Structure 1
Amino acid sequence: MMNSIEHREVSHSRGRQFDRDEDEEDEDEDNDMSAWERAYTDERSWESLQEDESGLLRPIDNKMLSHAQYRRRIRAISSTSTATRIQKGLIRYLYVVMDFSRAATEMDFKPSRMAVIAKHVEAFVREFFDQNPLSQIGLVVIKDGVANCLTDMGGSPESHIKALMKKLVCSGDASLQNALELVHEYLVQVPSYGHREVLILYSALSTCDPGDIMETIQRCKKSKIRCSIVGLSAEMFICKHICQETGGSYSIALDELHLKELLLEHAPPPPAIAEYAIANLIRMGFPQRAAEGVASICVCHKEAKVGAGYTCPRCKARVCELPTECRICGLTLVSSPHLARSYHHLFPITPFDEVSFSQGNMTGKKSIETCFGCIQNLMNPGTASGYCVTCPKCKKYFCLDCDIYIHESLHNCPGCESLRHSKSINTGEG
């Protein structure tokens, strides 16, 4: 009896020791990767230099660089929004196709194209659902000449990110036709009010297709599927032709930072194609949150679960998360915050105007010495980098960080809202 107990204790201790060894190995791998990335950054130190007005080299201000990239993105969005009769698809069904063929093992993007794609697709998925809470995403992988669905279409970012964190392998050739055929098969079932989109991250310089890809492109065009491609190598005629025929965009990533910027450009909803911009009335349900601690069958996973969920107002079926589509009655289920968060795409904030301290119009004005948003000192060149922004409507001044926060997260100008609130109080409406 004592021998069996001792044997059991030894086996448990060995199991715990084995788990600790595995954790230590994972930690060592993470440390090695971070050390390698730091060393690679030091090797490419020339990329962190820029030439000033006098011809001297000085370090790039990362804060100003990120703000300049943000300003370009905001101007691109505002230029499309100011045009007449622009419709945007707030309910999007997007498939992200990742090329994990043999070409994805190339190391021009460090440590490899595959690792960089997985890393930035994870960030893109989070940003996509932050800006499009009513939309859904699916992930597709192309390798060995075929296309496989990595995750089904869904509105949960965690399920897609969990699939990306698995061990992915690159092998074989890429096939654009098989990828388009697969996503066409899924997207053709999307309701007419949904905007069908495909975003392809393509690494290869060729495509291995089993048939006529031109026929597949025409089927996608007929089914109103917008195809956009971001290339990681050189420009290809067939990729450009796909995007031109379906109304998408085609671009080539120059480096990792440029790839991230190109991906984030696809997060906001694009303007609807003119001939497809048809207004539709959509029937939606606003489910109530179920009681805690009650066991019920979830129609999403088809199994009994204990805990809070949501009850469909039409058929009383239980779902785990929102937004989704009821598997029983087909009703689109959303929550009111999701609907409100999608509203800002229709009426975006006007881009703020840049103001330089060197213009001499800031000195002596105490009212604009601090940022209206965070009360930061705007006169300190060390914190403001010599620039700030002003709202063209309320004329309030903001720092660069508040400018990004207002346009990308808050979606309301604090200066305009304060003036509107004070006006309502003075007129007795508040």
Structure 2
Amino acid sequence: MSNKQASLVVWWPNSHDQARADSEGRVLRVRFEVHGAGGKLHGGEEPLNQLPKDLPCVALVAPSEVTVLSVTPPKLTGQKLQDALPFVVEPFLLNDPEDNHVSLWHSLGDGQRLAAVVGRAHVRAVVTACRQAGLQLQAVSCETLRQPSSQDRVLWFSGNDLLVAEPAAQPAVLPTTTPAVLTALLQRVLGNQSGVMLAADRARLEGLTGTADILQSIETVPRLPLSSLNQLRDCSLVRPEELRRLGVRAPAASRGKRSLLVAFIGLLAVGVVGLNMLAFKARSQNARLEQTIAERYAQALPDTPMVADPLLLIEREKRTLSSGLAGNNSSGSASHWLHEVGVAMQDAPFNSLNDLAFSKGTLSLRFGANVTQAMQEGAVQRLKARGLSAQWTKAGPDNQPVLQVKQGDPS
């Protein structure tokens, strides 16, 4: 809900008054005000079903229904803190912890915070009545959560109660039905400190107490230094998920949120256009790549249809050629043996082969003296692994090593 949007503020009667109206079959009458950005627009008292139904609504439960305490919360966060709060306030209450909604508010100093407690049954009754009346309920709050906007103690009337708020202390609720009790409570609350009130409220208080001594420390101001009633929509005593469980619909999107939604839709449209452009570019690159592959394939395998993956077809042709070459190399040919000797003597020094001859199925290769014994033994083992018989001898006037290679094992 935007701060500039008009809203409906409803003061809910206490449980006793609501139960009496239900038992008598009367339509509940409530005090209400319509507030805009500049403050109150109009108000009055009407039956609940006669209130404006097109405005966001904040229901303010009676101060007597809300217990406000100063507590030191545990060092927890999130859901764990919410689950622990009913047991933190349990020593101050008579009912069971599970029967209450507990919320934390502003700091009071020294690690303490303001805790507000309201009964679940009363909240359920308020929500049910608002839903039946067709109101757009968005928060259930209390006027005691209003905060002074200065260091002054602020006093004001709300219905038949006199409320007192301080910057760093628990708010006080003083009933006005018994003047003597009101006078005693007011003296206790004020003490030697001062406060501020509206002129009309000060005159009403003076008429109730009948003495001016108490009022000497109270100054009149044209406007209360107090947070507005409109801000109580952000001080709900009940979490939004709890309200949803009770059947309250989520708040309608404000203008600011709608603006964000429009901006998001615009960004989404730009993103879709950008993705389409990237997809078009990718398709173009893929088409050029496929054309290049087709051209290279035609060069590698002319007059061969590309009926499968081109790389697989080219690889198959390579294997076919390799197997054909291997079939043409006779295992008993001199060229095949020369190839095998070259592989077996790959570690031999450069230009170490001096002479070769092929006679009667034996290939003889004469090497230089720089072919070591280790090279010779390694060559014999490699040739044997290839199915060839090999042995080293000495020949010639210079007694150079000669490798003799032939098919099969030596006789």
TM-score bucket (shorter structure): under 0.3
More strand by share: 2
The answer to which structure, 1 or 2, has the higher relative contact order (CA under 8 A, 6+ apart) is: 1
Larger radius of gyration: 2
TM-score when scaled to structure 2?
0.20
